[in-house]
Structure 1
Amino acid sequence: MLSTQKKTGQGFSHAKIILIGEHAVVYGQPAIALPLKTLKTHAKMTLRQDDQQILESSYYTGPIAEVPEFMQGIKHLVMYILTQQNKEIGFTLQVTSQLPIERGMGSSASVAVAIIRAMYDLFSLELDHQTLLKLADVAEKDTHKNPSGLDAATTSSATPIWMIRDQTIDPIPLELDAYLVICDSGIKGQTSQAIATVKEKLQATPTATKNMITAIGDLSWQARKQLAQNDVLGLGQTLNAAQKYLRQLDVSEPTLDKLIELALQNGALGAKLTGGGRGGCFICLVKDQRSAKQLSDLLLANGAIAAWIEPLKK
Structure 2
Amino acid sequence: MKEKATGKSYAKIIWFGEHSVVYGKPAIAIPIYSVDVTATIRRINAGQNIHCRYFDGPVDQMAENLRGIKTLIDHLTNLLGAKDVAFDLTIESKLPSERGMGSSAATAIAVIRAFFAFFEVSLTRDMLLKLAEIEEKITHGNPSGLDSATASSSMPIWFIKNEINEQIDFNLPTSSLVIADSGIKGKTSEAVSLVHSNLVDQPEMADPLIQQLGTIAETARQALAEADDETLGKLMTQSQQNLAQLGVSNHTLDTFCQVACQNHALGAKLTGSGLGGCVIALAKNQADAQQISTALRKAGATQTWIQSFKNYQFSTGEAHDNLVQ
Q: Does 1:97 align with 2:93?
A: yes
Q: For 1:249-299, what per-residue CA distance to the aligned partner results, in whole angstroms no more than 9, with x for missing partners?
A: 333232112211222233222110112322111111222222221121111
After TM superposition, give the deviation of residue 194 of structure 1 in Å: 2.7
Aligned counterparts of 1:44 and 1:81: Cα–Cα separation in 2:
15
Pick closer, same or farther for the CA change 1:303–1:115 going to 2, 3 Å. Answer: same
Q: CA RMSD in A?
A: 2.3
Partner of 1:88: 83
Partner of 1:168: 164
Pick closer, same or farther for the CA change 1:123–1:193 going to 2, 3 Å. Answer: farther
Aligned counterparts of 1:76 and 1:213: Cα–Cα separation in 2:
36
Secondary structure of residue in 1 paired with 2:257: helix
Partner of 2:218: 221
Structure 1 runs, 4 residues or longer, greater than 6 Å off: none
- Stretch of structure 1 that moved more, 204-213 or 221-230: 204-213
Q: Does 1:253 align with 2:265?
A: no
Aligned-partner residue type, residue 77 of structure 2? L
Q: Is the 8 A contact 2:34 2:306 kept in 1?
A: no
Q: Is the 8 A contact 2:33 2:307 kept in 1?
A: no
After TM superposition, give the deviation of residue 207 of structure 1 in Å: 6.7
Pick closer, same or farther for the CA change 1:70–1:213 going to 2, 3 Å. Answer: farther
* 5+ long unaligned stretches in structure 1: none
1:264 is aligned, of 257, 261, 264, to 261
Pick closer, same or farther for the CA change 1:70–1:197 going to 2, 3 Å. Answer: farther
Aligned counterparts of 1:283 and 1:302: Cα–Cα separation in 2:
14
Partner of 1:21: 17
* 5+ long unaligned stretches in structure 2: 312-325
Aligned counterparts of 2:133 and 2:195: Cα–Cα separation in 1:
21
Pick closer, same or farther for the CA change 1:55–1:130 going to 2, 3 Å. Answer: same
Aligned-partner residue type, residue 9 of structure 2? S
Aligned counterparts of 2:309 and 2:120: Cα–Cα separation in 1:
36
After TM superposition, give the deviation of residue 38 of structure 1 in Å: 2.1
- After TM superposition, the structure 1 = structure 2 runs for residues 109-258 of structure 1, keeping only pairs within 5 Å, are 109-176=105-172, 177-202=174-199, 204-205=201-202, 209-258=206-255
Partner of 1:296: 293
Aligned-partner residue type, residue 6 of structure 1? K
Secondary structure of residue in 1 paired with 2:155: coil
Q: Is the 8 A contact 1:179 1:312 kept in 2?
A: yes
Pick closer, same or farther for the CA change 1:121–1:297 going to 2, 3 Å. Answer: same
Aligned-partner residue type, residue 127 of structure 2? T
Partner of 2:68: 73
Aligned counterparts of 1:31 and 1:299: Cα–Cα separation in 2:
26
After TM superposition, give the deviation of residue 41 of structure 1 in Å: 1.2
Pick closer, same or farther for the CA change 1:118–1:215 going to 2, 3 Å. Answer: same
Aligned counterparts of 2:109 and 2:273: Cα–Cα separation in 1:
19
Aligned counterparts of 1:158 and 1:306: Cα–Cα separation in 2:
23
Partner of 2:282: 285
Aligned counterparts of 1:65 and 1:13: Cα–Cα separation in 2:
24
TM-score (norm 2): 0.86
Q: Is the 8 A contact 1:144 1:191 kept in 2?
A: no
Aligned-partner residue type, residue 60 of structure 1? F
Pick closer, same or farther for the CA change 1:260–1:191 going to 2, 3 Å. Answer: same
Aligned counterparts of 1:103 and 1:133: Cα–Cα separation in 2:
22
Pick closer, same or farther for the CA change 1:210–1:67 going to 2, 3 Å. Answer: farther
Aligned residues: 309
Partner of 1:40: 36
Q: For 1:32-78, what per-residue CA distance to the aligned partner results, in whole angstroms no more than 9, with x for missing partners?
A: 1222212221112334433x432211222123333344322111211
Aligned-partner residue type, residue 15 of structure 2? L
Aligned-partner residue type, residue 82 of structure 1? T
Aligned counterparts of 1:210 and 1:132: Cα–Cα separation in 2:
36
Aligned-partner residue type, residue 165 of structure 2? I
Q: Is the 8 A contact 1:110 1:156 kept in 2?
A: yes
Aligned counterparts of 1:85 and 1:204: Cα–Cα separation in 2:
50
1:62 is aligned, of 53, 57, 61, to 57
